[in-house]
A and B are shown apart, each in its own frame.
Chain A
Amino acid sequence: MNGNKPPVNSPEIRRLAPVIEPGHTYASVTDKIASIVLTRPTSKGWLAGFGLAFAIVMLLLVAVTYLFAKGVGIWGINIPIGWGFAIVNFVWWIGIGHAGTLISAILFLLNQKWRTSINRFAEAMTLFAVACAGMFPLIHAGRPWYAYWMFPYPSTMGVWPQFRSPLIWDVFAVSTYGTVSLIFWFVGLIPDLATLRDRAVNKPAQIIYGMLAMGWRNSARHWHRYQSSYLLLAGLATPLVLSVHTVVSFDFSIAIVPGWHTTIFPPYFVAGAIYSGFAMVLTIAIPLRKAYQLEDFITMRHLENMAKVMLATGLIVAYGYFFEFFMSIYSGNKFDLYLVKMRIHGPYAPFYYALILCNILTPQLLWIRKVRTNVAALFIMSLVINTGMWLERFVIIVISLTRDFTPSAWGRYSATFWDYATLLGSLGLFTALLFLFVRGLPAISIAEMRELVAHGPEDEE
């Protein structure tokens, strides 16, 4: 029986693509990544892409200015649907922001080598997604100029925030997450900023990168402390990333609204966040590697692994949907049962079916290896999943709020032009920031890629 079985290490068994294509040296890795920032001319594609994104940022500014002038009445929100698009978008963006820290921290602790070439831009993506997310509760506040009331500061009114409220937990969770992600990202950047400083071809670049690098000189004594700080940050960020979407889910599950008051929310929110985050990393990685010929560094192995993570977290999300459904029926609670009925037959049923199609049915294609290794298919899949995750938050918020306990409290919700303009605008802001990031900072960690070169490409499990 063992006679015709190939040995474990044979190419037939290990059909994995390498995490870095062979033939690279320390210098070639440095050159290739640093040149994108330092020497390559700004391409027409970059200008066109950034221009378009910037135009959409202008739309966001118009939408937000009009909002500040007129108030939240320009949106489709009403009583009982006080949350609407603003909170749907908030939860969606903060979910997307989970992949960066997951890749950087959790995969770092698990010593997964394939994280190396995607962690930098995934972290940048996290920061920009958190920035987009943080914007929505602020502009949704009605009087955004009082947003600082949410923070505990010694006010002349003599009051303090109510720390028993999940909304205050949310303020702390999201702002801590934003801060720690920024620190983590910046610490990872320091050695690369030193590389850019040393290779800068003009004075302004040398001064700017030099100031940011803070005089890093690759000393072994510095690396020693640097590594333990980086490891500790990874260890701290790991529970943090799980806590953030848990706290976001508390915004819902601590309330008694039908469809929200359920204990499955925290784990299934976290899984959904990772699901949408990886989808967004793919959405960015695929055009990025194409535009800057980074196929050597972001290999098929990376894309396939991300597809597998999406498949796994997608199944957890599917399990969450199923159990929401099951618990409503099993509990016999008539309000919960009615909510399930509203999801299937109610006025927003098309959204629910679209959600099932995007988040549960389509991703099952990822079981097929041919799909996982087809770049175009993965790109489309990532867009479908992101749409699905947005729909999930829409279904959770709108269906539950429109079908409360008493029929007199029922309502309808439809978004206005300004709702869509703000959502589109936040996408534009996200994209514009990404364009600036790719042009101004190394999108792949150069120091970590050198480490991969040192260990050799075949150093796999």
Chain B
Amino acid sequence: MTGEQRIHFHGLVGEFETPKDLLAAVRKTREAGYKKIDAFSPFPLEGLAEALDLGFWDNLVPQITLLGGLIGGLGGFFFQWWANVLSYPQNIGGRPLNSWPAFIPVTFEMTVLFASIFSVLGMLALNKLPQPHHPLFNSERFYKHASNDRFFLSIEAKDPRFNLVETTRFLQGLKAQNVTEVYDE
């Protein structure tokens, strides 16, 4: 009945001072068999995606962008064709109704517009953003430093290998500082 019942244990988070330490720790954590892990860095870190072994299905942004470009390009061209050839044909200087070269500029712009919008909305959707709250924000160190100057590694309690005592010791063994338990209400 009290708040205690609703408290949810998210996992552990550890802190690193340099990108190198984080990369090494991520590799060792994966080697130890942990699956539900994530790394955090205040700027895109080269090699981190490889260390986490992110594959094809972890990044479908290029495919979504291509889809947007195709929809925009084909839709843009055939819409013009339909509007100026079928729906509202006009004789302009005796040119053929399907004067396709004149439709290219708008086709191009629509390709770029749709590809861009698909790319960004797809990126946000795959990242499950907007997501105003996340348990990690309850960690004071994470909140103050993840977007500033420190590198973090989290292991979720959902991970089958997770064991509070052992995993804490494991993270500390990786030179992680301030290993803390993250709870959420």
Shortest Cβ distance from residue B137 to the other chain A in the assembled complex, whole angstroms: 7
Number of A-B contacts (CB under 8 A): 193
Contacts of A215 in B (CB 8 A): 129-134
Q: Which residue of B lies closest to A28 (CB)?
A: B149
| In-complex Cβ contact of B148 among A161, A172, A195, A229 (8 A) | A195
Contacts of A216 in B (CB 8 A): 129, 147
Q: Number of residues in A with C-beta < 8 Å to the partner?
A: 61
- Give bound CA distance, A247 to B102, whole Å: 12
Decide if B42 touches A163 in the complex (CB within 8 Å): no
- Tell me if A's interface is mostly helix, strand, loop or mixed: helix
- Give bound CA distance, A197 to B38, whole Å: 21
B 126-140 binary contact with A (CB < 8 Å = 1; else 0): 110111111011000
| In-complex Cβ contact of A164 among B58, B102, B132 (8 A) | B102
Check if B110 is an interface residue, CB within 8 A of chain A. Answer: yes
Decide if A454 touches B43 in the complex (CB within 8 Å): yes
Check if A236 is an interface residue, CB within 8 A of chain B. Answer: yes
- Give bound CA distance, A160 to B41, whole Å: 51
Contacts of A187 in B (CB 8 A): 120, 123
Contacts of A232 in B (CB 8 A): 61-62, 65, 115, 119
Decide if B124 touches A221 in the complex (CB within 8 Å): no
Decide if B147 touches A162 in the complex (CB within 8 Å): no
Q: Considering residues A30, A216, A232, A447, which has the most beta carbons from chain B within 10 angstroms of its beta carbon? A: A232
Q: Number of residues in B with C-beta < 8 Å to the partner?
A: 62
Shortest Cβ distance from residue B135 to the other chain A in the assembled complex, whole angstroms: 10
Contacts of A236 in B (CB 8 A): 65, 69, 112, 115-116, 119
Contacts of A454 in B (CB 8 A): 19, 43, 45
Check if A194 is an interface residue, CB within 8 A of chain B. Answer: yes
Contacts of B70 in A (CB 8 A): none
Decide if A221 touches B127 in the complex (CB within 8 Å): yes
- Give bound CA distance, A179 to B83, whole Å: 24
Assuming the A-B contacts A162-B90, A164-B99, A229-B123, are A217 and B137 also in contact, with contact meaning beta carbons closer than 8 angstroms in the complex? yes
Decide if A26 touches B147 in the complex (CB within 8 Å): no
Assuming the A-B contacts A152-B83, A217-B40, are A243 and B147 also in contact, with contact meaning beta carbons closer than 8 angstroms in the complex? no
Decide if A30 touches B149 in the complex (CB within 8 Å): yes
Shortest Cβ distance from residue A243 to the other chain B in the assembled complex, whole angstroms: 6
Assuming the A-B contacts A25-B149, A229-B120, are A220 and B40 also in contact, with contact meaning beta carbons closer than 8 angstroms in the complex? yes
Contacts of A172 in B (CB 8 A): 105-106, 109-110
| In-complex Cβ contact of A222 among B90, B127, B132 (8 A) | B127
Q: Which residue of A lies closest to B146 (CB)?
A: A218
| In-complex Cβ contact of A195 among B19, B129, B131, B147 (8 A) | B147
Q: A-B pairs with the 4 shortest C-beta distances?
A: A214-B130, A26-B149, A160-B83, A229-B123
20 contacts between A and B (CB under 8 A): A26-B149, A152-B83, A158-B87, A158-B88, A163-B102, A164-B84, A164-B99, A180-B112, A187-B123, A191-B42, A210-B132, A215-B129, A216-B147, A217-B137, A221-B38, A227-B44, A228-B62, A229-B119, A243-B112, A450-B42
**13 other contacts beyond A173-B109, A195-B148, with CB at 8 A cut-off?**
A26-B149, A30-B149, A160-B87, A195-B147, A198-B148, A199-B147, A210-B132, A215-B131, A220-B39, A225-B61, A232-B119, A233-B120, A243-B105
> Which residues of A line the B interface, CB within 8 A?
25-27, 30, 152, 158-164, 166, 168-169, 172-173, 176, 179-180, 183-184, 187, 191, 194-195, 197-199, 210-211, 214-229, 232-233, 236-237, 239-240, 243, 247, 250, 447-448, 450-451, 454
> Which residues of B line the A interface, CB within 8 A?
19, 38-45, 48-49, 52, 54, 58-59, 61-62, 65, 69, 79-80, 83-84, 87-88, 90, 92, 95, 99, 102-103, 105-106, 108-110, 112-113, 115-117, 119-120, 122-124, 126-127, 129-134, 136-137, 143-144, 146-149
